[in-house]
Each structure stands twice: as structure tokens, then as C-alpha cells.
Amino acid sequence: MRKKVSAIIQLLKDRYPVAPCALHYSKDYELMIAVRLSAQCTDARVNLVTPALFAAYPTLEAFAAADIRDVEHYIHSCGFFRQKAKDIVLACQMLLTQHNAKVPDSMEALLRLPGVGRKTANLLLGDLYAVPGSVVCDTHCIRICGRLGLSQGKEPEKVEMQLRKILPPEESSDFCHRIVLFGREICTARNPKCNECTLSPFCNEVH
């Protein structure tokens, strides 16, 4: 398994030398907000919505003082906008009152923020603080790692724990970003491009 994982990581690095987060942000809390908006929504849609949202509320204090109904207006097209708007405002208030206006750097503290689950927390830890072992289990990660035999099942937390055991901690965050790129380009949920896939030798479901 160690050799297999190493080979897969290298092939993904060869295809995607740079592995940035797909969400656009310039401040730590903006990434927290963008990730919350991305639930049940595409990153592309979030990136269309956030410029106007961040312009309307240019500081953390502005978000914390925002009228939730006004925030709903900006994020309506992202879906589940009422709960997302509430979570965003309350989370920003918590950053101000409990975390010195900074996104916290521990899993425990992050999970106490409204709307933040393990997937969001892992992404924030990996992208903001380069915490080793940060595994972001989104739908691409679960699907592709299952096809490659790196994990079993579809429950995000269980898949995360399986991947933590086999991924080099220093590679895990970038691995997950590369898996997203790979899932969009090649290993799609429907009609994957198996004839173009450099990982097909490791795949259990080559079409």
C-alpha cells in the first residue's frame, strides 16, 4: 500500500504541479465563509458570489454586525442560503468574541464554530496553517479513493480516518486538492475518462 500511495501521489503531482484551493479568498475568515457556501454548491458558483459579498462586508466586524436577511440576498444562488447566512454571521461573531478575530488553528476550536464540520475544519487547517495530516473528504475524494482502493465506504469521517493512516501527513492537504482537480477533469462521477487516466493501473473500476 505504501508503494501504491507513493506512486499515486507522484502521478497526481506530475499532472498538477500546483495544487491551490479552488475557492478565492484574501483573508482567513473569507476562506471560512467560502467553504461554508460551497456545501451543496459548486466552487465556481461560490467564486461568482463572493466578490460582491466581500465587497459589501469588507471586514470581519462588518460580517459580525450584518443583518442575516441582507446576507441571504447576496448568497441566495448558493442554496440553503438561510442556514448558511446565519452560520456565517454567528461564526464571524465568535471569531471576534472568542478567537481574537482569527480563524482558530485547532480542530476542536474550529468544530465549535457554527456551520463548520470536519471537512471545512481540515481544509482551513491545511490551507491556512499547513497542518500536517489535514484530509479534506469531499465527494471527489470519497469517490476516487474508493475506486483506487485507498478507502472503503462513503461516510466522510470514516474515509478521512482511513486516509490518515496511509497518506504521508505532509502530502495530505495537497493530495486532496489534486484529487478535486483530477475528479473534475478525468475521474468524473459519470462517464470517467478511463482511457486518459494515468491512475488506471491502480483503479478497481476501470470502465
**pLDDT tens digit string along 54-109?**
999 999 999 999 999 999 999 999 999 999 999 999 999 999 999 999 999 999 99
**Residue 49 to residues 21, 37, 40, 90: CA-CA distances in angstroms?**
16, 9, 14, 20
Is 177 part of any domain?
Answer: yes
Query: Residue 137's CB: how many other CB atoms inside 10 A?
Result: 24
Mark whether 68 and 13 lie in a shared domain: no
Mark whether 88 and 140 lie in a shared domain: no
CATH code assigned at 73? 1.10.340.30
Annotation says 14 is catalytic: no
In whole angstroms, give the CA distance from residue 114 to residue 66.
16
- Strand ranges for the chain from DSSP E: none
In whole angstroms, give the CA distance from residue 124 to residue 100.
17
> Can you give the pTM of this predicted structure?
0.92
Name the active-site residue from 28, 84, 87, 119: 119
Contact call for residues 119 and 125 (beta carbons, < 8 A): no
pLDDT at 204: 87
Mark whether 113 and 171 lie in a shared domain: no
Name the active-site residue from 87, 127, 138, 174: 138
Total domains, the chain: 2
Percent of the chain's residues with pLDDT above 90: 96
Mark whether 110 and 181 lie in a shared domain: no
Is 161 part of any domain?
Answer: yes
Domain end position, chosen among 112, 129, 146: 129
Annotation says 119 is catalytic: yes
Q: What is the span of the domain harbouring residue 178?
A: 2-19+133-202
Q: How high does pLDDT run on average in the chain?
A: 95
Mark whether 39 and 52 lie in a shared domain: yes
pLDDT at 205: 77
* Statement: residue 127 has pLDDT above 60: yes
HSE-CB for 30 with a 13 A CA cutoff = 19
Mark whether 121 and 146 lie in a shared domain: no
CATH code assigned at 177? 1.10.1670.10
Is 40 part of any domain?
Answer: yes
In whole angstroms, give the CA distance from residue 175 to residue 132.
12
- Least Cα distance to 87 among 53, 58, 47, 116 occurs for 116
Is 207 part of any domain?
Answer: no
**Is residue 206 very low, low, confident or very high in pLDDT (cuts 50, 70, 90)?**
low
In whole angstroms, give the CA distance from residue 107 to residue 90.
18
Mark whether 149 and 124 lie in a shared domain: no
Is 165 part of any domain?
Answer: yes
In whole angstroms, give the CA distance from residue 188 to residue 191.
6
- Section 154-173 average pLDDT: 96
Contact call for residues 136 and 119 (beta carbons, < 8 A): yes
Mark whether 55 and 116 lie in a shared domain: yes
Mark whether 137 and 122 lie in a shared domain: no
Mark whether 48 and 101 lie in a shared domain: yes
Is 120 part of any domain?
Answer: yes
In whole angstroms, give the CA distance from residue 108 to residue 121.
9
Residue 37 phi, psi (nearest 5): -65, -25
pLDDT at 59: 98
pLDDT, tens digit, for every residue of 10-46? Answer: 999 999 999 889 999 999 999 999 999 999 999 999 9
- Least Cα distance to 142 among 127, 165, 161, 125 occurs for 161
- Section 163-168 average pLDDT: 96
Domain end position, chosen among 129, 162, 182: 129
The distance from CA 101 to its chain's CA centroid, rounded to whole angstroms, is 22
